[in-house]
Amino acid sequence: MPTKVYSIDYAYTIDGEEIELSPLKIKYMRQFMDVFPSVQSAKNDDESVDRLSECVRIAMKQYKEDLSKSIETVQDNFDIANIYKIIEIAAGIKMNQQEEEKDDKPVDPEDTWEHLDLVKLETEVFLLGIWKNFDELESSISMPELITILSTRRDLDYDEKKFMAAIQGIDLDEQSGNTEAKGQQEWENLKARVASKGATDDANDILALQGTNAQQKGFGIGMGIDYEVVK
């Protein structure tokens, strides 16, 4: 069965208009991730919905530009279920319609989208010579596409090195190991830093399983699991 880089889904306006959804191109993902971390520090539900609506407004620049005029336009056209759906497909962040438990600890500015070394990842892909500049690259591909291109490029490079090493009687797998795509791991670690408010940058750490990450996994801190810092 053919594999997919990403899936297409649909959201619906209050009037029943169908909007096709796919992961945001990097150009819009940058703008989206400038706003999304602030959702966790919202003081009340209205402020949280406004910030989520701003994320959706940014996404509409890609999906349907006439719905990107203001957060009021977003709120007039989408119910909360479809706002969550758009955020889930646009950025891979699964939202739960149940009210999230919030605390007063602000998100550290270091634990934002900028913490990911995206320029390094883009530079590696840019060397393929397909795009004339970085703006064209960011307008053309999404994060899943970037990671897939990187992973395939690295696999091909590794296979070539492995073949040349085998000619010389060297088992490259045994000496260096063939690790999973580093770009995907960096993205997962970034989400862990945001979810844990800087407490961990390891996606496998229990501290990363809170808030939306916990809801996405179905368990975690605030969902029946607590923790204590032992010094």
pLDDT averaged over every residue in the chain: 78
pLDDT over 90, % of the chain: 42
Q: What is the dihedral of CA 32, 38, 39, 40, to 10 degrees?
A: 140
- Higher model confidence: residue 93 or residue 170? 93
The rounded Cα 46 to chain-centroid distance in angstroms is 24
- Strand, helix or coil for residue 19: strand
pLDDT, residue 166, reads 75
Strand ranges in the chain using DSSP code E only, listed in sequence order: 9-12, 18-21
Range from 111-115, 167-171, 193-197 that averages highest in pLDDT:
167-171
Inform me whether the pLDDT recorded for 142 exceeds 50. yes
Inform me whether the pLDDT recorded for 219 exceeds 70. no
Per-residue burial over 9-25, b = 16 or more CB atoms within 10 Å of its CB, e = otherwise: eebebeeeeebebbbbb
Pick the range with the lowest mean pLDDT from 36-40, 55-59, 97-101, 210-214.
97-101
pLDDT mean over 83-107? 70
pLDDT, residue 118, reads 86
Task: For the full predicted model, state whether its pTM sits above 0.75.
Answer: no
